[in-house]
Chains A and B, each alone.
Chain A
Amino acid sequence: MSAPSLLRPRINQLRALAIGVVLGLSLPAYAADLPEVQRLVKQGKHQQALEAVDAYLSSRPKDAQGRFLKGLIYTEMNKPAEAIGVFTKLTQDYPELPEPYNNLAVLYAQQKQYDKARTALEMAIRTHPSYAIAYENLGDVYAKLASQAYDKALQLDNSNAATQNKLALIRDLITTGSTGSPAKPAGKAGGKQQASAAVVSATPGAAARNVESKPVATPPAAIAAPAAPAVAAAAVAAPASAAPAPAASAFSDPVADELSATVAAWADAWSRKDMAAYLGAYAPDFQTPKGISREEWQQEREQRIAGRAGAISVRIEAAQIAVNGDEATVRFRQHYKAPGLTNTASKTLVFARVGGKWLIREEISR
């Protein structure tokens, strides 16, 4: 009954959400309508998608999946007021679903209403304490709110700062036990729990990779307190060694897997102090920091990596991948550990596909 699905990667730009959405609904009858709507969305035919979803909803106005999709379509059509209306109504009718809260938060954050975004995300986490995307989004919203507080504290004028929010929209309504039969919305606590548990087990590939191969993601241990820091259970940050499990292949994006593997290999080369492999990960036109020459930069890296005494460990967590043709952006949390220096930072690698290989063109630390 439950929809096997995959937590979608967090994607930098809302407009770049072009990766296919897989909604493995298996209900016969009217369920077939929704994949059609999904297909239209994917093709960018938003108006048609909207008409299709309205037609779908006309006979089942309470259907959560359909309404959720409608909210997404409005979002894609850049109609935030309508989208907020749809998602708000969903949170009222199905307060146990985290996804509408999350997407509401994304929309609020786009309008820089971070307090509202925070409340919505805290609600999402209250209903589903292990909801990874909501945690990550909440982390970003906290950072935004922090930045606003700092502006007020320090009388900084950041009103024109170009930092667009990077919250991830959730594409699939995965916590519903059914596809929205109005008679039984996933309102009962028991059913909800089951459904959410089913989601985890329905993604064996991602889950197994996370748990077994490397401590990529921290298990959401501190879920009791809504105040817990963002606990990221990344779905896509697969280390190189993990071959995609067959069960997961249906849900995986091969390009995303390639990129995950590339980032993992890069971190691995860094950890092993394999300078050839490490430097080989960078494109010929890599933008060196502060505009220093490539040679200077390489020397500096040699010194800091090969020249450093003791073991280095570089661990990647919570990778978000956005692909646009032969360009891709991977954003993640980087845990760096070396004797005397431990550091966790957000990092963004901008890749370009050169001769079938993804190479780093830009490396941005925050």
Chain B
Amino acid sequence: MAAARRLLLRPLAACLLAVGLAGGAFAQNAARQPATLSDSAPEAQLNRIFEEIEANRLGEALQLTEGLLRQHPNYRLAHLIKGDLLLARARPIQSFGAVNGAPADKIADLRAEAFVRLKGYREKPPTDYVPRYLLQMQPDQKHAIVVDTQRSRLYLYENDVANGGRPRFVADYYITQGKLGAEKLAEGDKKTPVGVYHVTANLPRQKLTDLYGNGAFPINYPNEWDRRQGRGGSGIWLHGTPSDTFARPPRASDGCVVLTNQDLDAVAKNLQVGLTPVIISNSVEWLSLDDWHKERDELNQTIEAWRSDWESLDTERYLKHYSRRFKTGNAGFEQFAAQKRQVNAGKEWVKVRVDNLSVFRNPGNEEVVVVTFEQDYRSNNLNNQMKKRQYWLREDGKWKIIYEGSA
């Protein structure tokens, strides 16, 4: 009977783990990934615990779980696993979170956390692949953040300037997204926005209520593109976890991206206010370095063509870089074109420099890239320096500017 009782837990573990391993887009590469998770992250320990359960070594699993709880006394998922392991000694249990009369939503939350944590641990992004969004960081951006809401993971990348600015994986972390998922559209929809953002401030713990934990980093939602799409809402932050809990469920915030306090502290060290990009995606796309180079080169050439065509004073050729749906401020394409023709008519020469260029692909179905740079415009009768942001959209296979404005 002892054996039979113990066996009962196995399907549970198997079911948990099966989900963890299903759809392993890059699972086969996991072995090549160096261990970059911080030692204090619970994934490795959870993984071991479930391995012990799978191997029917429940005593070891319980010991590991108790060890995890000594490290994180407020870790609810670990308490749940401990409860199951203890209850399995008292009577056969049929399901993960076998407690009688438990609120089903809370059990589901913790189960979901176990799923995404194990999945995140077992399916590391392969080293020779990079997120498609990080096409080019500007040299002073030391790090970039990419969030995958479906996987509940935040990936921290370093701008490897010595290696031609290719993104280098640093670490990844479990995150919580909005209660109702991603693709925020409106105020109060409890969703996390999807798009290209950056950190705009650093709010220390002292200025915040306990809900935000060790600190908060607001991002610039809604950005120019969100506004153009009519998306509303505000106050989307990266922040920590209240003191009474180690982690929150995968879907629990009002739209913010929430990390455990220790993870927030680790990430915070790498954040530059006003600079660090935060790119949030439903499901991160990964490119091989070859493909990444190809996309990056193509866009660099496109931007260079726009710059040199502007200098050429061939206004029609310059305007070919702009979409018919282009808008800047209140002006549409025709107004913008008329104004450019008029200005260029008064120019004898124009010099345009583009510095500190960043190119980030916008997550989503539409092919949009966000281009930001310092523009140094000189001409015979006017000099102007500004930080400019453009949104480029691929229309009929060609990249066209659909929005342009100061950044």
Contact = CB atoms under 8 A, between A and B. Distances in A.
B249 to A, nearest CB: 11
Interface stretch (A51-59, A190-198, A228-236, A287-295): A228-236
A344 B91 contact: yes
Given A146-B87, A150-B99, A344 B80 contact: no
A142 B86 contact: yes
Interface residues of A, number: 31
B59 A227 contact: yes
Interface in A129-160: 138-140, 142-143, 145-150, 152-156
- Interface secondary structure of B, over-half rule: helix
A198 B5 CA distance: 30
Contacts of B79: 149-150, 152-153
Contacts of A309: none
Contacts of A146: 82-87, 90, 99
Interface string A344-357: 11100000000000
B213 to A, nearest CB: 17
Nearest to A218: B1
Interface stretch (B17-25, B100-108, B342-350, B384-392): B100-108
A230 B90 CA distance: 6
B89 A154 contact: no
Interface string A12-27: 0000000000000000
B58 interface: yes
B3 A222 contact: yes
B99 A154 contact: yes
A29 interface: no
**Size band of the interface chain B makes with A:** 20 to 34
Interface string A54-89: 000000000000000000000000000000000000
Contact of B62 (A140, A152, A227, A230): A227
B382 interface: no
Tell which of A142, A156, A221, A226 has the most Cβ of chain B within 10 Å.
A142
Contacts of A142: 86-87, 89-90
B90 A153 contact: no
A195 to B, nearest CB: 26
Interface string A149-184: 110111110000000000000000000000000000
A225 interface: yes
Tell which of A140, A149, A366 has the most Cβ of chain B within 10 Å.
A149
B86 A145 contact: yes
A149 B110 CA distance: 13
A228 B2 contact: yes
B99 A147 contact: yes
B88 A152 contact: no
Tell which of B76, B77, B97, B100 has the most Cβ of chain A within 10 Å.
B76
B59 A143 contact: no
B319 to A, nearest CB: 61
Interface in B237-254: none
- Interface secondary structure of A, over-half rule: mixed
B165 interface: no
Tell which of A145, A152, A155, A344 has the most Cβ of chain B within 10 Å.
A152
B61 to A, nearest CB: 10
Interface string A225-265: 11111110000000000000000000000000000000000
B83 A149 contact: yes
Contacts of B87: 142-143, 146
Contacts of A218: 1-2
Given A146-B83, A147-B83, A227-B89, A153 B76 contact: yes
Contact of A229 (B77, B90, B100, B107): B90
A142 B84 CA distance: 10
Nearest to A221: B2
A139 B102 contact: no
B49 to A, nearest CB: 14
B82 A149 contact: yes
B6 interface: yes
B92 interface: yes
B89 A153 contact: no
Contacts of B97: 150, 153
Contacts of A152: 76, 79
A139 B2 CA distance: 12
Given A222-B3, A225-B59, A227-B62, A150 B80 contact: yes
B337 to A, nearest CB: 61
Nearest to B93: A146
Nearest to A226: B59
Given A153-B76, A154-B99, A227-B59, A346 B86 contact: no
Q: Enumerate the 3 nearest inter-chain pairs by beta-carbon distance, A residue then B residue, closest first.
A: A222-B2, A149-B83, A227-B59
17 contacts: A138-B89, A143-B86, A143-B87, A145-B83, A146-B90, A147-B83, A153-B76, A153-B80, A153-B106, A154-B76, A154-B80, A155-B106, A227-B59, A227-B89, A228-B2, A229-B6, A344-B92
Interface of B: 1-3, 5-6, 58-59, 62, 76-80, 82-92, 97, 99-100, 102-103, 106-107, 110
Interface of A: 138-140, 142-143, 145-150, 152-156, 218, 221-222, 225-231, 333, 344-346, 366
Given A139-B91, A146-B86, 10 more contacts: A139-B90, A146-B82, A150-B99, A150-B102, A153-B78, A154-B107, A227-B59, A227-B89, A229-B2, A230-B90
